[in-house]
Structure formats: C-alpha cells, structure tokens
C-alpha cells in the first residue's frame, strides 16, 4: 500500500531517532543517527528528539510499574532501584562475560 508521506524526511528521521532511543535500540539509533548526519540534521534537533523520547520512556515505565502492581493486586511490585546504571552489569549486578573471561565492554550503558 502506497501512501503519501505527511512528514518530511528530516522529521521522519527525528521521529525514528526518538523511537529508537525510547526502545533502547542501539543499532537502530546508530543507523538512524548516521542517516540524520548525512541529511544535515543538527545535533540540537537530535538532542531534542532524544530528550522527548527519554521523558516518554521514563514516564511510561512509572505507569507500567503501577499497572503491574494494580493488575497483580500487589503480588508483584517493581523495585525502583532496578535498572541500568551504565556499569555493564545486569539487574543482579553481574557483569557480562565473553567466552575468554573478559568483561564485555560492549554492554556498557545497556540493560541486560
């Protein structure tokens, strides 16, 4: 199905960058950021898209925590201190290990 684009290319890239940031998709963000640079999108515009996405993701996480607690009638609560701290550790504080025993530095800043 072909549709006429309602958003210009730059706006589409900014929306996609925001969606990638909110979804925490690093590969998507890298790809889209490269395309945005090629298209002349300013870093301030990308920063604004990421800020909006981050706010939406943060607020929706709070709503989801409340939803889970209400749906399970309190049987399941979401700890507020679980999440990414950028240390490369998972929620239990375990570092990702590569087969050679070295810590996986590619996991820095990502969840799980």
Q: CA-based diameter of the chain, in Å?
A: 52
Residue 10's CATH number: 1.20.1290.10
Nearest alpha carbon to residue 110 among 83, 73, 92, 80: 83
- The string of DSSP letters for 73-97 reads TTSS---TT-S--SSSB-TTSPBPB
Residue 66 domain flag: yes
Q: Which residue has the tokens 């998507």?
A: 28
Residue 5 has a pLDDT of 79
* pLDDT tens-place string over residues 64-78: 999 999 999 999 988
Residue 49 domain flag: yes
- Top pLDDT among 68 and 98 is at 68
To the question of pTM greater than 0.75 for the whole model, the response is: no
Distance between CA atoms of 92 and 104, rounded to whole angstroms?
16
Residue 105 domain flag: no
Residue 45 domain flag: yes
* Residue-range definition of the domain harbouring residue 46: 1-78
Report the domain count for the chain: 1
């Amino acid at each position: 199905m072909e549709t006429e684009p309602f958003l210009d290319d730059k706006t589409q890239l900014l929306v996609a960058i925001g969606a990638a940031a909110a979804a925490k998709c690093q590969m998507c963000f890298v790809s889209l950021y490269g395309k945005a640079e090629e298209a002349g999108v300013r870093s301030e515009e990308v920063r604004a898209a990421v800020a909006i996405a981050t706010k939406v993701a943060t607020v929706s996480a709070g709503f989801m925590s409340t939803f889970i607690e209400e749906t399970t009638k309190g049987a399941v609560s979401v700890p507020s201190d679980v999440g990414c701290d950028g240390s490369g550790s998972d929620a239990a504080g375990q570092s990702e290990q590569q087969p050679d025993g070295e810590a996986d530095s590619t996991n820095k800043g990502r969840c799980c």
